[in-house]
Structure 1
Amino acid sequence: MEALVLPAEQLASAVGARPFLLLALLLIGTVGAFLGLVAVARFSDRHARALWARAVRAYAAVAAHPITRRLSARFPSVARVLRELSAAEYLVIHLGLGLVLSMAALVFVALAEGVSGRAPIVDVDLALARALHASSSRVGVAALRAFSLLGSAWALVPLAVVVAGALLRRRLRVLAVGWLFALAGCGLLNAALKALFARPRPAFADPLAVAAGWSFPSGHSMGTFVAFGMLSYLGLLLLRTLRARLALVALALGWTVAMGFSRMYLGVHYLSDVLAGFAAGTVWLAACISGIEVARRRPGRIDGRSPPARGGESLPA
């Protein structure tokens, strides 16, 4: 294990010595991974009929299995909720979001245990923080200080009000309430996690920036991830063209990664703080979107613009 830790620290020091090259690589890697997922999704869409037929058969087989029937008899309320969802809704929405939520939760727990137990990630944190601090410039600090303000409550609260107002004007009350709940809950959850882990922020003799409160997880990273994740979700529902949807999601990913980088560059957060902010934000975002989707698909729901088959108006295609 020690043999692996040293190269990791050396790599952190090397990339930290070239901060804006690191930022470029992070942006390219993130957006590239997203476009790769889009390519896979489009490939799958070409074979959707065969894949979906298999999925529906598998869904029916699980529902008809004796074990499932016994569980349904034992937990009738849960079974009733699942029966109200179509196979498409259950498989695509809830299994997909559940998988994302579970994986993000595992990542967060691993980071939290590593930080609490002085695992190798702590040494990598320190090496990267020192390298970024040593390679900082006045121009870089000024630019990222200004950019970092856009991830603070002073920027996110007005954004929340403006977006909620726009949704309410379109009579999308379910989406408006879900949007506000996601952002407000994110702030409360981040404050609770910071108080729980109580990790001190990076300390330097000549700090580039000073921030109050605890360090783990990063509030800017978590808040920006949830806010722009929700904006992407709303965009996927409301925008009409694939190009506009892809552009919005790519912008959201790039903006979020840049925000996390700015907090590391300014020396107010460690790498693990930022990663934990993204992981915790993913868990909360997946839970909120799942809840909104259930609310939108309730029979008779009209202000959430449910699909026509469910008795409501349809959102733009």
Structure 2
Amino acid sequence: MQTTTSLERAEQRAAVRRSDSTGFRTPDLFAKRPVIGVAIFMIGLAVFGILAYNVYVQGPMIQWDKQMADHMHTSALNSAGWVSAIMIAGYYIGLQGYIVLAVAMALYFLSKRYWKEFLIIAVGCIGQGGLWLLMANVFGRDRPVLDHPISKAIDYPSFPSGHTMSAVLCFGMLAYLLVPKIASRPWKAAVVVLALLLMAYIGFSRFFMGAHYLTDIVGGLALGFAWTAMVITVFEGLFRKKEENEHEQA
């Protein structure tokens, strides 16, 4: 009798997973091929480590960084008004847009009882905020000092860029959910490219406006990819293991 009940429960779980296949679920790509997630994590961490070391010891990259910031600021001051408006919009997309999109995804997953996806976005966002706060205070890098700043002064540390980290997590996760639902390969590629362009746009807009050095942006991208890959890989792996154990018990 117990065996029959366990089998029925296993069949019910399988039926639920099949019925949810049209929803926005993670494709379990990193669970099936964890080497992909681990590789992204390691590469991102390595790039961030190189930049972080230069920031910490004031290495040769820092002098080049300051020159790039000065050059970009000069270009920004001479740019057309509509260009500045587009760049300023990057601040709001990277902050308010990120919050709205993250909350919308979390509420969707919660309403559908997609616990794996809900935990990925919840832990991803909360952890990303904590990780940024920790790294920013550890390095305590000052913002670029400009003679004629375009944007208002910001008093919290510069390295790494929190906006860029948020963009990687949010738009990266959204692309990861959407791509498996798209049949056309060109459209799959278009979604991935669009997500990457949005990440780059948000990061570049912060550099353009003089709020960050270029290494802050690249560091934010690298740490954002490392953190996002780690969270997805861990939770997909844990839930896959849980499902395998339930199947064996059935």
Q: By the TM > 0.5 criterion, same fold? A: yes
Distance 1:196 1:179 in 2: 25
Percentage identity across aligned positions?
29
Distance 1:284 1:218 in 2: 14
Distance 1:238 1:184 in 2: 27
Structure 1 residue 188 corresponds to structure 2 residue 127: no
Q: How far off its partner does 1:112 sit? A: 0.7
After the TM superposition, list the runs of 4 or more consecutive aligned residues in structure 1 that deviate by more than 3 angstroms: 168-171, 236-244
Distance 1:94 1:223 in 2: 23
Deviations along 1:8-47, one digit per CA (max 9) or x if unpaired, are xxxxxxxxxxxxxxxxxxxxxxxxxxxxxxxxxxxxxxxx
Moved more, 248-257 or 130-139: 130-139
Q: How far off its partner does 1:239 sit? A: 4.2
Distance 2:242 2:186 in 1: 32
Distance 1:258 1:205, change over 3 A: same
Structure 1 residue 125 corresponds to structure 2 residue 61: no
Alignment partner, residue 296 of structure 1: 239
Alignment partner, residue 140 of structure 1: 83
Distance 1:168 1:157 in 2: 16
Which structure 1 residue ranges, 5 or more long, are not aligned? 1-87, 312-317
Distance 1:155 1:89, change over 3 A: closer
Distance 1:103 1:196 in 2: 21
Which of 124, 139, 142 is equivalent to 1:197? 139
Distance 1:287 1:107 in 2: 15
Structure 1 residue 116 corresponds to structure 2 residue 56: yes
TM-score (norm 1): 0.63
Counterparts of 1:168-247 in structure 2, within 5 Å, are 168-210=110-152, 211-247=154-190
Distance 1:292 1:243 in 2: 29
Q: How far off its partner does 1:292 sit? A: 2.2
Distance 2:30 2:205 in 1: 38
Q: Is the 8 A contact 1:93 1:290 kept in 2?
A: no
Counterparts of 1:1-317 in structure 2, within 5 Å, are 93-136=33-76, 137=79, 138-152=81-95, 154-210=96-152, 211-300=154-243
The amino acid that maps onto 1:251 is L
Deviations along 1:176-222, one digit per CA (max 9) or x if unpaired, are 22112111211111011000000000011210113231000011111
Alignment partner, residue 71 of structure 1: none
Distance 1:202 1:174, change over 3 A: same
Q: Is the 8 A contact 1:174 1:295 kept in 2?
A: no
For residue 147 of structure 2, give the secondary structure of its aligned residue in structure 1: coil
Which structure 2 residue ranges, 5 or more long, are not aligned? 1-28
For residue 222 of structure 2, give the secondary structure of its aligned residue in structure 1: helix
Moved more, 108-117 or 236-245: 236-245
Alignment partner, residue 37 of structure 1: none
Distance 2:186 2:170 in 1: 21
For residue 126 of structure 2, give the secondary structure of its aligned residue in structure 1: helix
The amino acid that maps onto 1:122 is I
Deviations along 1:139-164, one digit per CA (max 9) or x if unpaired, are 32222112221101x32222111112
Q: How far off its partner does 1:235 sit? A: 1.7
Q: How far off its partner does 1:89 sit? A: 7.1
What CA RMSD, in Å, does the superposition of the two structures yield over aligned residues?
Answer: 2.4
Deviations along 1:73-132, one digit per CA (max 9) or x if unpaired, are xxxxxxxxxxxxxxx977x62222112211211111110111122222112211111111
For residue 215 of structure 1, give the secondary structure of its aligned residue in structure 2: coil
Alignment partner, residue 25 of structure 1: none
Distance 2:146 2:48 in 1: 26
TM-score (norm 2): 0.79
Alignment partner, residue 56 of structure 1: none
Moved more, 229-238 or 209-218: 229-238
